[in-house]
Amino acid sequence: MNEFFPVSCADTLGKIGLLVKSRRLALGLRQADFKASLGISEHTLRKIENGSALVDLRSFMLVLWRLGINETVFHSLEGIETTSQVARYVTDEDAYQSIASKRVRLPKPKAEDF
């Protein structure tokens, strides 16, 4: 299962990589200077710009934030807290805390199930 990665996800990462590189170039930032300002390796930055799926989320988000494109990439998440997909699990004002306490509980197996 570790070898499977949906083509649409790979395409999306490739598009984000192009956006990252074009934004970095537009800002006149060299890879060496940019990676040093974030404390990530040049290899990691190269993987992000090439659309690799093997990048840690922290580095990925730092790059998007530093380039000012995290809102562009995640625009569809705007107002997600009020959508029916999330609101049905929210029980109070703090959506994040409310959902964090939710769990999926499976029924305990009975002896006759075996």
Residue range 40-76, pLDDT digits in tens: 999 999 999 999 999 999 999 999 999 999 999 988 8
Instruction: Please give the average per-residue pLDDT across 1-23, as a whole number.
Output: 90
pLDDT digits 0-9 by tens, 75-113:
887 777 777 777 777 766 666 666 777 778 888 888 887
Between CA 110 and CA 114 the distance in angstroms is 8
The per-residue pLDDT for 92 is 64
Residue 24 backbone class (left: φ over 0; alpha: ψ -120 to 50; beta: rest): alpha
Q: What is the pLDDT of residue 95?
A: 67
**pLDDT on residue 82:** 72
3-state secondary structure of 48: helix
Q: What is the DSSP letter of 107?
A: P
Q: Does residue 1 register a pLDDT over 90?
A: no
- The two tokens of residue 73 are 């990439």
pLDDT at 79: 76
Sketch out the chain's domains with CATH numbers: 7-68 (1.10.260.40), 76-101 (no CATH)
pLDDT for 93: 66
